[in-house]
Structure 1
Amino acid sequence: MSLRGSTARLTLPTADQMHITLKFLGEIPEVKIPKIAGALEKVRGAPFQLQAARVSTFGRRVIKAEVTDQSCCADIAKQIDGLLLPLGFPKEARPFSPHITLARIKEYAPDLQEKTDALCDAEFGTCMIEEILLKQSTLTPRGSIYTTLARVKL
């Protein structure tokens, strides 16, 4: 079963666009990028394995794969929250929930629920996470374009 073929209008990211957002920073002045990258260098953690599985939705806007990782992403997200606080980025108010966006829903259609239900127990595989990337996201009508601004090895 696949999301393709649904009558819903979806934006599907390519494999190289898939990611886990540890902290969304919004628009930031270019002058802050080196300070943010420096703060990310202080994150402590070892490379870890991540598994993506179980399709679910965020309301009627996002279809996601849930992530299993022994809470490694949550630990890193918490560290980032603390490290960026002195740079003027407030701590997250919502609980952290690591996920990979599989599609953005532009226009909902009833057959979409059937397709996501059929994927609720799907397993997509595992991968090794070895670094944190500071990404810039540029929104376009065809989807987001991501640019890597900094890399930090775990």
Structure 2
Amino acid sequence: MARLFLAINLPQDVRAKIFETFSKKLKRYEGLKVVPKDNLHITLLFLGEVPDEKVEEIKNKISKIKFPKFNIKIGKIGHFGNRVVWIYADSEDNLLRKLSVKLQEALQIHDERFHPHITLCRARKPGKKIKYIVESLSKINFKEEITVEKFSLMRSFLKSPAPEYKEIFSVNLT
């Protein structure tokens, strides 16, 4: 079995800027697991545990996707429930969301609630403080813009203290 997700890997300088801007502030809060700098990415679609024999089929399906290069803006802070704090990524004409939907369609996975994001941290235990943390981080004026030229099929290896991510396939945008 392989733990897989589809992502946009961020340029190293953008990862560094996000990490430097938010990690010290997040480390002040007890019970949070801050995402390491090298693991910061835009999640397009989480696939979960996939049988090894299905990986080639996934590569084949996503390789057929034709999509134009586009720019995205990163900056707005949000959260999923009481556990995850993230940065929202958005694009003109909603192209980032459209790419995510196209991937869902190609792989026959449908999740209306999902939207592309960059996970900053996870709470070890659910708690009400997540909303307070989001309010606090929202006061930071963080804005970054990047051009998306490809997306990647990533494999996650669960290790301690943090998972290791490896790109196993990528698709260039046109």
TM-score bin (small chain):
0.7 to 0.9
Identity %: 23
Deviation by residue 1:83-124 (Cα, 9 ceiling, x = unmatched): 112xxxxx2233332211111112467776544313215324
CA distance in 2, matches of 1:152, 1:20: 15
CA distance in 1, matches of 2:95, 2:53: 30
Secondary structure (helix, strand or coil) at the match of 1:92 reads coil
Equivalent position of 1:88 in the other structure: none
**1:9 to 1:36, Cα distance in 2 relative to 1, 3 A:** same
Matches within 5 A, 1:36-115: 36-70=58-92, 71-85=94-108, 91-107=109-125, 113-115=131-133
CA contact (8 A) 1:9 1:108 kept: no
RMSD value over aligned CA atoms? 2.3
Amino acid at match of 2:34: L
Match of 1:34 in 2: 56
Match of 1:127 among 138, 146, 167: 146
TM-score between both structures, scaled by the size of structure 1? 0.82
Flag the structure with higher helix content: 2
Higher RCO (C-alpha 8 Å, min separation 6): 1
List alignment gaps of at least 5 residues for structure 1: 86-90
Is 1:151 matched up with 2:167?
A: no
Is this contact kept in 2: 1:6–1:112, CA < 8 A?
no
Per the normalisation by structure 2, the TM-score is 0.74
SS for the counterpart of 2:47 is coil
Unaligned ranges ≥5, structure 2: 1-20
Q: Distance in 2 between matches of 1:144 and 1:124?
A: 27
Q: What are the superposed Cα offsets for residues 56-99 of structure 1, whole Å, 9 maximum, x if unpaired?
A: 222221011111212112111221122112xxxxx223333221
Aligned residues: 149
Query: In 2, Cα distance between the equivalents of 1:57 and 1:151?
Result: 28
Query: For the structure 1 residues 58 and 141, does the alpha-carbon distance in structure 2 shift closer, same or farther, using more than 3 Å as the test?
Result: same
Give 2:7's aligned residue. Answer: none
* Inter-partner Cα distance in structure 1 for 2:89 and 2:65: 20
Which one is further off, 128-137 or 106-115? 106-115
1:7-53: per-residue Cα shift (whole Å, max 9, x none)? Answer: 32222223331122222211112222222111111112111111111
